[in-house]
Amino acid sequence: GAGVSQSPSNKVTEKGKDVELRCDPISGHTALYWYRQSLGQGLEFLIYFQGNSAPDKSGLPSDRFSAERTGGSVSTLTIQRTQQEDSAVYLCASSHDRGYGYTFGSGTRLTVV
Amino acid sequence: GQQVMQIPQYQHVQEGEDFTTYCNSSTTLSNIQWYKQRPGGHPVFLIQLVKSGEVKKQKRLTFQFGEAKKNSSLHITATQTTDVGTYFCAGRGSGGSNYKLTFGKGTLLTVNP
């Protein structure tokens, strides 16, 4: 596609429920990143995928968070047993390779009530 | 771990005034990138600087990378209302984990017409 697509754009969930966030990167981009942005804050790194290499999960805040990337393309970020502190905008980005600028999606705004 | 500090956190200017935001890294960087995020939007890649002492210009925007590759600045000449947004710097480490960007917390620029 022309850009990075994320879905849903907004998600309201009850505390304790699981959520799945989806990211469709730009076709041909080998690197995919997930970041989290809380209101008025910077971008917090979560996880990175590069080709067929093992992902860098060093930014995941707890074992409730996991992500996968199927076929080197679409990625899904899963948050289990959501907590109120998980409320944030989750941004996905892709790049042609790891040394290039990122193209961000519009994000998924997650609200845990 | 690598830290990227950005100042000021906020800057309000009158239209036509100049604006500068500064970025400092705790470690030497392989390169630095700058992004702009409009209110309600997602970060958009502006530029990447790679060489020590590099200076790049985009119309009214001037980007600099320090000689030691630990600091950078973005200067906007004669601001316009379209410049409103948050400007983020993002540094990439020079070690083995040089694929991951560490973002500063950003400088929010508001412009009074």
- Does B98 sit within 8 Å of A98, measured CB to CB? yes
Amino acid at A82: T
- pLDDT, residue B96, reads 60
- pLDDT, residue A40, reads 72
- Does A99 sit within 8 Å of B101, measured CB to CB? no
Tell me the nearest-neighbour CA distance from A67 into chain B, angstroms: 17
Q: Indicate if the pLDDT at residue A95 is higher than 60.
A: yes
- pLDDT, residue B93, reads 84
Separation CA A72–CA A5 (nearest Å): 15
Q: Between the CA of residue A93 and those of A27, A71, B42, what are the distances in Å?
A: 12, 17, 10
Residues of chain A contacting B43 with CB distance shorter than 8 Å? 43, 91, 102, 104
Residue B42 is nearest to which of A33, A101, A107, comparing CB atoms? A107
Q: Between the CA of residue A72 and those of A60, A61, B30, what are the distances in Å?
A: 20, 24, 26
Residues of chain B contacting A102 with CB distance shorter than 8 Å? 33, 35, 43, 45, 101
Mean pLDDT across A105-110: 98
How many C-beta neighbours within 10 Å does residue A63 have? 7
- pLDDT, residue B78, reads 98
Mean pLDDT across B84-110: 87
Residues of chain B contacting A45 with CB distance shorter than 8 Å? 100-103
Residues 33-72 of B with CB under 8 A from A: 33, 35, 41-45, 47-48
Tell me the nearest-neighbour CA distance from A107 into chain B, angstroms: 7
- pLDDT, residue B97, reads 54
B103 Cβ under 8 Å from any chain A Cβ: yes
CB A45 within 8 A of CB A33: yes
Kindly list the strands in the beta sheet with A5-7, ordered across the sheet, starting from the edge strand earlier in the chain.
A5-7, A19-24, A75-79, A65-69
pLDDT tens-place string over residues A19-75: 999 999 999 899 999 999 998 778 999 999 988 888 999 999 999 999 999 887 999
What is the token pair recorded at A108? 């998924």
Separation CA B75–CA B104 (nearest Å): 16
β-pairing verdict for B107-112 and B10-14: parallel
Which of B113, B109, B92 has the alpha carbon at shortest distance from B101? Answer: B92
Residues of chain B contacting A100 with CB distance shorter than 8 Å? 48
Which residue in the block uniquely carries the two structure tokens 């990075």? A4
Which residue in the block uniquely carries the two structure tokens 């469709």? A24
What is the token pair recorded at A57? 């999960």
End-to-end CA distance of chain B: 41
Separation CA B108–CA B8 (nearest Å): 8
A100 pLDDT band (50/70/90 cuts)?
confident
